[in-house]
């Protein structure tokens, strides 16, 4: 039976652009790179859940629509300011109904990104 969660596949028609967004704008570490931008692995800890970006033009769609990736940050205001300086359009942090702070944005492919 299932014994762990491995990660999420994201297909992109422009994987180079999407890889650049996660690497340069959000500064998510690349754990395994690919010179063709096909199968690039992002994550924070080896052998922990990751996400892959695949070339949809080569492999077809691995997801049927946008996904929502959830990340944590230490300081919502600083993260908001850093992202707006990099040209990301997003609203300031809000307080969610459950009481925590949230930042919501989308990547260049329309996937949602929730920063807690």
The model's pLDDT over 21-78, given as tens digits with 9 standing for 90+, comes to 999 999 999 999 999 999 999 999 988 999 999 999 999 988 887 899 999 999 999 9
Residue 2 above 80 pLDDT? no
Q: Per-residue pLDDT for 106 more than 90?
A: yes
pTM: 0.89
Strands 112-115 and 7-12: unpaired
Q: Choose among 22, 110, 17, 103: nearest CA to 64.
A: 110
Rounded alpha-carbon distances, angstroms, from residue 25 to 2, 60, 106: 34, 26, 12
Distance CA 34, CA 37 (A): 5
- How many CB atoms are closer than 10 A to CB 65? 7
CB 42 within 8 A of CB 30: yes
- The per-residue pLDDT of the chain, averaged, comes to 94
């Amino acid at each position: 039976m299932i014994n762990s969660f491995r990660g999420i596949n994201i297909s992109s028609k422009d994987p180079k652009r999407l890889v650049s967004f996660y690497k340069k704008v959000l500064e998510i570490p690349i754990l395994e790179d690919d010179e063709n931008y096909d199968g690039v692995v992002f994550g924070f800890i080896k052998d922990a859940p990751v996400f892959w970006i695949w070339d949809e033009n080569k492999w077809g769609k691995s997801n049927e629509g946008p996904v929502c990736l959830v990340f944590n940050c230490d300081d919502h205001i600083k993260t908001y300011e850093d992202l707006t300086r990099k040209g990301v359009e997003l609203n300031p942090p809000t307080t969610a109904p459950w009481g925590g702070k949230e930042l919501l944005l989308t990547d260049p492919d329309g996937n949602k990104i929730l920063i807690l």
